């Protein structure tokens, strides 16, 4: 796999030629067949490969090439470029040494000023399956999901952007930007109905700002950042793997946990099993080399856990068209339930303001 490159990378599907792919995979390719495409903020183009000889051992015959291949998308939503570049950096700089976590195998990745490309395995060819737009899974599935996240978190525990300057936080600014027109967005026709206290944009934005500014550095690690139901897959053995590594950044570990849990579980199952899931995460984190936390005797654990549900804010204000209406409606309902149950806004705003907030967490 390559480090990000200075060469001009393909920005159109027609530029993904056998010659170009040969140069990246290190084997002569005589033909490629585009079998299907998934268009979006990061487009996924799927190819079947035929090599010049019959030996395929150790070579991919089916690949997914992910990048920005829609010029109209690139022009109208230029921020998609940074997401593609970030994902290519994951496969070149993080994936090769990442342990105790399931994610797609990468064959090559690179970026330039106009593109970010990751050549990955075609998961469907490995018997993997994907979650529908909306589903509720048994809590045992989520237990497996938080095991995977504990693997990532333990490996990078206590580290920060100071240790990895290239991992700049692209997540917080994006969320704050989308939440700025809160009062208008939540009142648009057809939006999910929110309780009165979540219709107060000024208060909710203050809570979001304080959540980001006052995260407890005791819980800082590298996050996947976007662990909702649309960014997972199931292996042939039924284990969870994580997709779409365009939002990784340093933050509070519980961000990944509560975001995943809220998206995957029904409201009833989340209420019945969330402490069991949290305990399993904490135990796995410690087993894999992270610190040992006791939520019963360390009040900071539960305060940070409850505050972290603020990360679900995206489902309250997600712009139309970014996610399906069906998914937004269901995950908004699940998010509101977490805000009600954990008094998220009150917990954040009720904490004394620190003298010097940790803005790098």
Residues 242-253, mean pLDDT to the nearest whole number: 96
Say whether pLDDT at 5 is over 80.
no
- Domains in the chain and their CATH numbers? 13-126 (3.30.200.20), 129-350 (3.90.1200.10)
Q: Which two tokens stand for residue 313?
A: 């804010």
Q: Which two tokens stand for residue 358?
A: 């940790």
Q: Kind of pairing, strands 62-67 and 106-112?
A: unpaired
- When the pLDDT of each residue in the chain is averaged and rounded to a whole number, the result is 93
pLDDT confidence of residue 360:
55
Q: Contact, 304 vs 295, CB < 8 A?
A: no
Per-residue pLDDT tens digits for 68-125: 998 887 777 788 889 999 999 999 999 999 999 999 999 999 999 999 999 999 999 9
Distance CA 165, CA 163 (A): 6
Say whether pLDDT at 274 is over 70.
yes
Classify residue 136 by burial, with Cβ atoms within 10 Å: 0-12, 13-18, 19+: middle
pLDDT confidence of residue 361:
53
What's the DSSP call for residue 190?
Answer: T
Specify the range with the lowest mean pLDDT, choosing from 56-70, 228-242, 257-271.
56-70
Q: Kind of pairing, strands 106-112 and 129-130?
A: unpaired
Q: Closest by alpha carbon to 74, among 10, 168, 5, 2?
A: 10
Q: Report the phi/psi class of residue 46: left, alpha or beta, with left for phi > 0 and alpha for psi in -120 to 50.
A: beta
Q: Contact, 66 vs 86, CB < 8 A?
A: no
Distance CA 115, CA 74 (A): 10
Residues 231-246, mean pLDDT to the nearest whole number: 96
Say whether pLDDT at 191 is over 90.
yes
């Amino acid at each position: 796999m390559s480090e990000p490159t200075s060469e001009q990378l393909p920005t159109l599907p027609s530029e993904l030629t056998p010659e170009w792919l040969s140069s990246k995979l290190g084997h002569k390719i005589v033909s490629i067949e585009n079998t299907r495409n998934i268009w979006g903020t990061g487009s996924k183009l799927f190819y079947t490969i035929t090599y010049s000889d019959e030996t395929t051992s150790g070579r991919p015959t089916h690949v997914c090439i992910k990048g920005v291949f829609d010029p109209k998308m690139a022009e109208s939503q230029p921020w998609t470029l940074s997401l593609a570049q970030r994902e290519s950096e994951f496969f070149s700089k993080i994936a090769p040494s990442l342990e105790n976590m399931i994610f797609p195998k990468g064959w090559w990745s690179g970026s330039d000023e106009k593109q970010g490309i990751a050549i990955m395995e075609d998961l469907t060819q490995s018997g993997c399956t994907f979650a529908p737009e909306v589903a509720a899974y048994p809590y045992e599935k989520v237990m497996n999901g938080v095991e995977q996240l504990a693997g990532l978190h333990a490996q990078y525990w206590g580290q920060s952007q100071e240790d990895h300057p290239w991992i700049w936080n692209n997540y917080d600014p994006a969320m704050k930007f989308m939440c700025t027109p809160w009062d208008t967005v939540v009142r648009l026709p057809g939006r999910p109905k929110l309780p009165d206290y979540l219709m107060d944009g000024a208060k909710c934005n203050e809570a979001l700002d304080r959540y980001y500014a006052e995260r407890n550095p005791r819980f800082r690690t590298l996050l996947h950042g976007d662990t909702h139901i649309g960014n997972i897959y199931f292996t042939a053995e039924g284990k969870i793997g994580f997709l779409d590594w365009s939002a990784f950044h340093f933050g509070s570990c519980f961000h990944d946990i509560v975001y995943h849990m809220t998206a995957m579980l029904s409201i009833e199952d989340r209420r019945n099993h969330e402490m069991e899931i949290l305990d399993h995460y904490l135990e796995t984190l410690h087993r894999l080399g992270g610190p040992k936390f006791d939520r019963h005797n360390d009040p900071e654990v539960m305060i940070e856990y409850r505050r972290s549900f603020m990360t679900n804010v995206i489902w309250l204000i997600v712009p139309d068209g970014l996610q399906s209406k069906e998914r937004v409606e269901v995950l908004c309902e699940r998010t509101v339930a977490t805000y009600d149950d954990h008094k998220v806004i009150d917990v954040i705003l009720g904490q004394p303001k620190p003298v010097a907030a940790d803005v790098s967490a």
